[in-house]
Amino acid sequence: MAIFRFRGNRWQARVRRIGHPDLTKSFNHRSDAERWARSAETDMDRGAFLDQSQAMRLTVRDLLARYVAEVVITRPHAKLHTFRFEAMAKRPIGKLNLFALTPSAIASYRDQRLREVTAGSVIRELACISAIVNHARKEWGISIVNPVPLIRKPPQPKGRDR
């Protein structure tokens, strides 16, 4: 059931359902709050509700750090991958929260990196981002969509001639 209250200068909507976490969100207008609450309740009833509160709290930098600490350490060439992930975390994409990790954000990252490195390096970095997001979805239960398959990858560089 949804509860609405005027708090400060905004309307707060709270949705509570058995078996689901409590959801709270604030809006400027009561009609927006009611619309959001109806859609959240409908999703919960259909079983299509995804709790995205964790995705809103975590940044790409947090995700990369957790992946390095838990997964990369156990693999060969851990130093090389750690260096790559730490460099990615320092870029502007590292400051985005996971909810803002959209195909357009990945595409702008791709375009920026293509100005600095070759297409092969960018393809490898995109593959790393995709693997990390998939791992977070499957193993850690973070409900986000993997944006990497939704963008165009740079053309594969020509192999060397021996």
- pLDDT tens digits along 70-104: 988 888 888 888 888 888 889 998 898 888 888 99
Does residue 151 register a pLDDT over 90? Answer: yes
CB 126 within 8 A of CB 154: no
CA distance 142 to 72: 19
106-123, pLDDT tens digit by residue?
999 999 999 999 999 999
Is residue 50's pLDDT more than 60?
no
- Contact, 138 vs 71, CB < 8 A? no
* Residue spans per domain, the chain: 2-49, 55-150
Global pTM value: 0.68
CATH code at 55-150:
1.10.150.130
Task: Tell me how far CA of residue 101 lies from CA of 58, 149, 155, in angstroms.
Answer: 11, 13, 23
Closest CA to 23 of 47, 46, 54: 54
| Least confident span in 33-37, 83-87, 125-129, 142-146 | 142-146
User: What DSSP designation does 161 have?
Assistant: P
